[in-house]
Amino acid sequence: MSIRERLSGNEAAAIAMKQINPDVVAAFPITPSTEIPQYFSTFVSNGTVDTEFVAVESEHSAMSACIGAEAAGGRAMTATSANGLSLMWEMIYIASSLRLPIVMSLVNRAVSGPLNIHNDHSDAMGVRDSGWIMLFSENNQEAYDNLLMAHRIAEHAKVQLPLMVCQDGFITSHSIENIELEEDELVKNFVGKYNPEHYLLNDKEPIAVGPLDLQAYLFEHKVQQAEAMKNAKKVILEVADEFEKMTGRKYSFFEEYKLEDAEIAIVCMNSTAGTTKYVVDSLREKGIKAGLLKLRVFRPFPAEEIAKALEHVKAVAILDKSDSLNAAGGALFEDVTSAMYVNKKQVPMINYVYGIGGRDTKSDDIESVYKDLEEIAKTGKIENPYRYLGLRK
């Protein structure tokens, strides 16, 4: 039976880590993720877990320690944000290329500069093509649930890739919400033990980790990573199905909120989905057929499934909480439009970059997007597909 609690997103993440009880947690503090290793360290000090907690001198060292622990045969976890993730950048690629299923809680924050400690998705978007599975969380419950499913996905024999669980800094990480926790023993059985096939401390099978990999083999090894990411799609759904049987909470690649008969729709990720749902409900009461596609799985990107979900809509707006600075739209916009084109689905689409550096995105802002979509659906004309939402004039 689920346990009713009231927790912040960071507390929920720390409790998930406690229930998982990894072999090693290596972390360095950075706002707004600091509380996760801070809360977890209390579980270490009071003996609730038997994890080896490594307080390192930088985030680069944190990921390096996780890589060493995972390569040695242990289950490793960490947490970071923004510039901390940037400092890990070299090791982020090494973790995925070595096929080490490390799990990280990424509390999304603007990457400097200028210095800003508030929420946007520039940190996650900066590593979107580094070979990590990426799950996004609308609220504290989803941050907790995604972490419980993370190891089952990452450690699967046909995947073996690291995974990050994203949530919005301060908006969910520090906000307290009602949440349902699962019993410790139930989580322990669901997550299971980590039994890697190959690891450095196996004296019966000497192996090398991270050798020089030149022209003769690197290409093939990168294709193997790409195939593992494709395999992750099936595994994500299988694990979600088992999780639903255990908890009653259903997850997929994305959530379709009143999308089935929608004529206009927004695509977004993380906490903005909650505001958008409120606006959808309000517009529905006025007879406007608005809908939402809330993306949960960003990597692997469910292109075919998204195209099918949006094919009937008359106009779609994709909301990006970071700017690619490429004069051609944000990362989510590029992926969604590519998915639609490749799958031969022709729907008018516009992009809104919003919420940079923690800029508030209110229901009025979201409503203005739907108003624009109504006009596009009516006329079929898009004067400018690249737009900003909530920009001060």
Indicate the residue among 247, 278, 309 that finishes a domain: 247
Taking the C-alpha atoms of residue 179 and residue 7, their distance in angstroms, rounded to an integer, is 7
Phi, psi of 261, rounded to the nearest 5 degrees: -115, 15
Together in a domain, 304 and 170? no
Segment 268-274 mean pLDDT: 98
Pick from 163, 350, 175, 195: nearest CA to 271: 175
Indicate the residue among 196, 228, 247 that finishes a domain: 247
Instruction: Please list the residues that pair with 250 across neighbouring strands.
Output: none
Segment 71-75 mean pLDDT: 98
- pLDDT higher than threshold 90 for residue 300: yes
Taking the C-alpha atoms of residue 30 and residue 59, their distance in angstroms, rounded to an integer, is 9
pLDDT, residue 192, reads 98
Segment 189-203 mean pLDDT: 97
Instruction: Identify the band that residue 250 occupies on the pLDDT scale cut at 50, 70 and 90.
Output: very high
Together in a domain, 185 and 271? no
Segment 346-373 mean pLDDT: 98
349: region left, alpha or beta (phi > 0 left; psi from -120 to 50 alpha): beta
- pLDDT higher than threshold 90 for residue 238: yes
Q: Per the structure, how many domains does the chain have? A: 2
Together in a domain, 118 and 179? yes
Mean pLDDT, the chain, whole residue set: 98
Segment 161-190 mean pLDDT: 98
Tens-place pLDDT, residues 253-266: 999 999 999 999 99
- pLDDT higher than threshold 90 for residue 151: yes
Segment 26-30 mean pLDDT: 98
Instruction: Identify the band that residue 1 occupies on the pLDDT scale cut at 50, 70 and 90.
Output: confident
Question: Is the pTM of the predicted complex or chain greater than 0.85?
Answer: yes
Taking the C-alpha atoms of residue 169 and residue 106, their distance in angstroms, rounded to an integer, is 9
Instruction: Identify the band that residue 393 occupies on the pLDDT scale cut at 50, 70 and 90.
Output: confident
Amino acid making up residue 73: G
Segment 365-388 mean pLDDT: 97
Indicate the residue among 247, 281, 314 that finishes a domain: 247
Range of the domain at 213: 3-247
